[in-house]
């Protein structure tokens, strides 16, 4: 029997195998974690530190080791497509450029919070690409896909996941896009 993968050393957090602590995850995330292609890790955090800036400060996790998931509503001819965009926290998603064109939409904007929460079954501030509805495309920036490990939401505000970039790139409906994440500034 192979030895379990060692826990990552990311910030001041204690990381545990996510399959051992499904209780820390949002329901759709807990259902999806056992199906992932490699082990992922979970760490419990304070709900008030769920937002990226507060999280990196509170737990000393480098901003470059975190990824943000934003949900976009893309519209064309009266039809709306929801899509998740995953970019490093040091960048912002190119919603009005690359995302809009990639989805063939006339208009793309951040999806309304209440709609995202209701349709994903996840808490705002904990939205993650793991466990999203199958009909939602998951657009993953190439820099995220190439990362050894990134910290993302867990479906709740009370924990974070550490996931290999290759696992995120291999999620159902995932497409890796160069230039999805644009420099902030």
Reference 29, options 132, 123, 115; nearest CA is: 132
pLDDT at residue 117 in the model: 95
Confirm if 163 and 127 have CB atoms less than 8 A apart: no
Q: List CB contacts of 174: < 8 A, sequence separation 6 or more.
A: 129, 137, 138, 139, 140, 168
pLDDT at residue 17 in the model: 96
Q: Say whether 56 sits in a helix, a strand or coil.
A: helix
pLDDT at residue 4 in the model: 58
Write down the domain spans for the chain.
16-179
pTM, full prediction: 0.93
Spatial distance between the Cα atoms of 137 and 145, rounded to a whole number of angstroms: 15
Residue 5 is classified by DSSP as: P
Q: Which CATH architecture has domain 16-179?
A: Alpha-Beta Complex (3.90)
Please write the tens of the pLDDT for every residue from 133-146. Answer: 999 999 999 999 99
Please write the tens of the pLDDT for every residue from 25-41. Answer: 999 999 999 999 899 99
The pLDDT of residue 3 is above 70: no
Instruction: Quickly count: other Cβ atoms within 10 Å of residue 82's Cβ.
Output: 19
The pLDDT of residue 1 is above 70: no
């Amino acid at each position: 029997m192979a030895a379990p993968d060692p826990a990552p050393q990311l910030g001041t957090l204690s990381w545990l195998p996510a399959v051992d602590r499904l209780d820390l995850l949002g329901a759709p995330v807990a259902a999806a974690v056992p199906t992932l292609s490699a082990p992922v890790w979970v760490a419990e955090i304070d709900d008030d530190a769920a937002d990226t800036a507060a999280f990196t400060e509170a737990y000393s996790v480098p901003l470059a080791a975190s990824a943000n998931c934003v949900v976009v509503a893309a519209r064309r001819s009266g039809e709306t497509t929801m899509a998740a965009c995953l970019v490093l926290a040091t960048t912002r998603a190119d919603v009005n450029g690359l995302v809009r064109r990639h989805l063939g939409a006339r208009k793309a904007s951040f999806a309304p919070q209440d709609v995202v929460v209701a349709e994903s079954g996840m808490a705002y501030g904990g939205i993650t690409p793991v466990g999203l509805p199958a009909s939602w495309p998951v657009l993953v920036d190439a820099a995220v896909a190439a990362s050894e490990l990134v910290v993302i939401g867990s479906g709740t505000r009370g924990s974070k996941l550490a996931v290999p970039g290759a696992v995120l790139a291999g999620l159902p409906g995932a497409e890796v896009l160069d230039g999805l994440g644009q420099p902030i500034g």
